[in-house]
Amino acid sequence: MGPGSSSDGVEQGSVTVALLLSGVGVVHPGGRRALESVDLSVAAGERIALIGPSGAGKTTLLRVAGASLRPTEGRVELLGAGPWGLGAGALRRLRARIGAVHQAPPLPPRQRVVTAVLAGRLGQWTVGRALWSLVHPADTEGAHDALDQLGLADRLFDRCDRLSGGQLQRVAVARVLYQRPDLLLADEPVSSLDRATSELLVSRLVAQSESTGAALVASLHAVDLALKWFPRVVGVRAGRVVFDLPAGDVTPALLQALYEGDAVAAVPAPDGVAAATAAAMMCR
């Protein structure tokens, strides 16, 4: 067995395609279809933004990409493995290599910030080390460094219920920075934040992707942020991929069609993408 593989068949360090969806469909209980015939390939180290109106299926797509939702049809490969063909232990190890940032971070109110950040590596630690870290943080310096990138180093030992919503989201991002996953998924990570904080969080996620070679897939309501920070943009509407293009090829006409009949929660656009975002904003 070579150094780039493991006994459960999940490749380590030699993956060239981080995410592959082929003909993926999802039908929720009750018959509501959330995804239909989705094809998407994401290379290791690639950065992709998902955009589209509310209810388009972006969150469902990210849940499939994170192996937290099994699709109704189609094929999924994550980091060189088919997740739904793995045993329980191998699936757990695969999920430990995937980092997720949610719109509302699931941080227990009484948990200390240092513990919340260190939780990023629980899946990589032994049970004993993970349990011991709840009492005596296993890597205070590592958690401090991750928080420092987001301007929160001074809140290391605070409880999460003493932080604002924006600060909690920064803690959630610090957790994936500390985790150093091979695939990073972000579901509307800045939808309720101010412009400066939004730029900070997106820039740190991008920097993490660039420094570690992790693939980054993020859904964003702010079209201007998607066009500014992501080389590739995927438009999703009614559960289907309607375009998959370099950011520079996303035109106002494409955005008008994508958001027709819906609103876009976008912040003011910087120079260079104002026309494209303005076109999307017109579809209210």
**Tens-digit pLDDT profile for residues 11-46:** 445 569 999 999 999 999 999 999 999 999 999 999
Mean pLDDT of the chain: 87
The per-residue pLDDT for range 48-83, each reduced to its tens digit, is 999 999 999 999 999 999 999 999 999 999 999 999
**Per-residue pLDDT at 204 exceeds 70:** yes
The per-residue pLDDT for range 235-253, each reduced to its tens digit, is 999 999 999 999 999 999 9
- Name the pLDDT band for 205 (thresholds 50, 70, 90): very high
Q: Name which of 226, 163, 215, 217 is nearest 191 in CA terms.
A: 226
pLDDT score, position 278: 47
**Per-residue pLDDT at 270 exceeds 50:** no
- What would you report as the CA-atom Rg of the chain, rounded to the nearest whole angstrom? 19
Give the span between the Cα atoms of 192 and 220, in whole angstroms: 11
Indicate the pairing of strand 17-27 with strand 33-43.
antiparallel
Find the mean pLDDT for residues 198-217.
97
- Name the pLDDT band for 139 (thresholds 50, 70, 90): confident
Give the span between the Cα atoms of 190 and 186, in whole angstroms: 9
**Per-residue pLDDT at 275 exceeds 60:** no
Domain boundaries, the chain: 45-66+88-97+184-284, 99-180
pLDDT score, position 138: 74
DSSP conformational letter for 159: B
- Name the pLDDT band for 136 (thresholds 50, 70, 90): low
Q: Name which of 217, 215, 222 is nearest 234 in CA terms.
A: 217
Q: Return phi, psi of residue 173, to 5°.
A: -70, -40
**Per-residue pLDDT at 8 exceeds 80:** no
Supply the pTM of this predicted model.
0.85
The CATH class for the domain spanning 45-66+88-97+184-284 reads: alpha beta
Q: Are 120 and 96 in contact (CB under 8 A)?
A: no
**Per-residue pLDDT at 284 exceeds 60:** no
The per-residue pLDDT for range 84-118, each reduced to its tens digit, is 999 999 999 999 999 999 988 888 899 999 999 99
